[in-house]
Amino acid sequence: MQYRVSGTPMTDWHAGLYVVATPIGNLGDLTPRAAEALRRATVVAAEDTRTSGRLVRSTGSTARLVSLTEHNVEDRIPQLLPQAREGIVALVSDAGTPAIADPGARLVAAAHREGIPVFAVAGPSALAAALSVSGFDGPGAHFLGFLPRPKGERTELLKKAATAASILVFFESPNRLGKTLGELAELHGDPRIVVCRELTKLHEEVVRGRASVLAGRFATSRGECVVVVEVPPRERDAGTMEELLGAMKRAGARRAAAAAEVARFTGCRREEAYDAWDAV
């Protein structure tokens, strides 16, 4: 692996859209490269210019701040793209890595369509942080963003997602957290979950336990929350066994290895998957 040495010369900074990850709570997590990107930017697009403005100014940046929200993103895109052609436009979110469950994704997509370079300035991410401290290990994680407010839509999404992944991750507001955990307990046989609240902040809390138990604990809560769910094997759709076997067969996998992996993912018996190999 080759790394680029920090302190790159000015010629390495080009006009374009820079997707800049910012701290999710601890200001010490702002990377030197992120701070430099903000200082070099002529414009910084942010969901909340008040919150992000304090961070931007702390780096010594004199960039102009522009709000980019769900309500104005379509109007802002035609204004920001020409500026990204001529100079550096930095996209930040309220906290963490932008364009993940926020309207910045549409600005990034528009830049790609217009042939404007898009650069990643990697750093903190609530999604990655929560997965890393969960201790759950599985063949796939499914990120759901913020769950729908209507219960029917929320239930349908959780059921469908659980058939395709061994780990679910989503954001939830503190006033709905207890209710959502109670629904998870009913839907998925009281799975093990991890609640990450106020990650990297003063009152950081990472709690692991059964959904039914944590539903009571977080009936009332404060702060930003990320929930990681370990989907029980029996909850995954065994009906996908043939599809998975077929995909692995086409990819050149060996029968025994494929049967073992599919059994681990779907919860079916290894012998069942092994016997189904010839039919796919």
- Give the integer Cα–Cα distance in Å for 269 and 169: 27
Look-up of token digits 């209710």 = 179
- Please give the CATH number for the structural domain made up of 14-124: 3.40.1010.10
- Give 34's contacts (C-beta < 8 A, 6+ positions apart): 20, 21, 22, 121, 123
pLDDT of residue 238: 46
Domain ranges within the chain, ordered by starting residue: 14-124, 127-235, 238-279
- Report the mean per-residue pLDDT for the chain: 90
List the beta bridge partners of residue 66: 45
For residues 125, 130, 132 and 135, what is the CA-based torsion angle, rounded to 10 degrees?
Answer: -170
Report pLDDT digits (tens) over 60-116: 999 999 999 999 999 999 999 999 999 999 999 989 999 998 899 999 999 999 999
> Which amino acid is present at 214?
L
pLDDT of residue 10: 42
pLDDT of residue 6: 58
**Is residue 65 within a helix (H) or strand (E), and if so which, with residue range?**
strand 64-67
- Taking each helix axis from N to C terminus, what angle separates 104-113 and 73-86, rounded to the nearest 10 degrees? 50
- Give the integer Cα–Cα distance in Å for 177 and 184: 11
- Give the integer Cα–Cα distance in Å for 245 and 280: 7
> Which amino acid is present at 13?
W
Expressed in angstroms, the distance from the first to the final Cα of the chain is 39
**What's the Cα-to-Cα distance from 175 to each of 26, 179, 180, rounded to whole Å?**
23, 8, 10
For the chain, which ranges sit under pLDDT 70?
1-11, 234-239, 266-267
| Multiple choice CATH, 127-235, 3.40.50.300, 3.50.30.30, 3.30.300.210, 3.30.950.10 | 3.30.950.10
- Give the integer Cα–Cα distance in Å for 66 and 64: 7
- Give the integer Cα–Cα distance in Å for 44 and 17: 10
3-state secondary structure of 92: coil
pLDDT of residue 163: 78
DSSP state at residue 134: H
Residue 210 phi/psi, 5-degree rounding, is -75, 150
| 103 burial via Cβ count (<10 Å: 0-12, 13-18, 19+) | buried
Look-up of token digits 């930095």 = 90
**CA 210 distance to own-chain centroid:** 23
pLDDT of residue 3: 61
pLDDT of residue 234: 56
- Taking each helix axis from N to C terminus, what angle separates 241-250 and 255-266, rounded to the nearest 10 degrees? 150
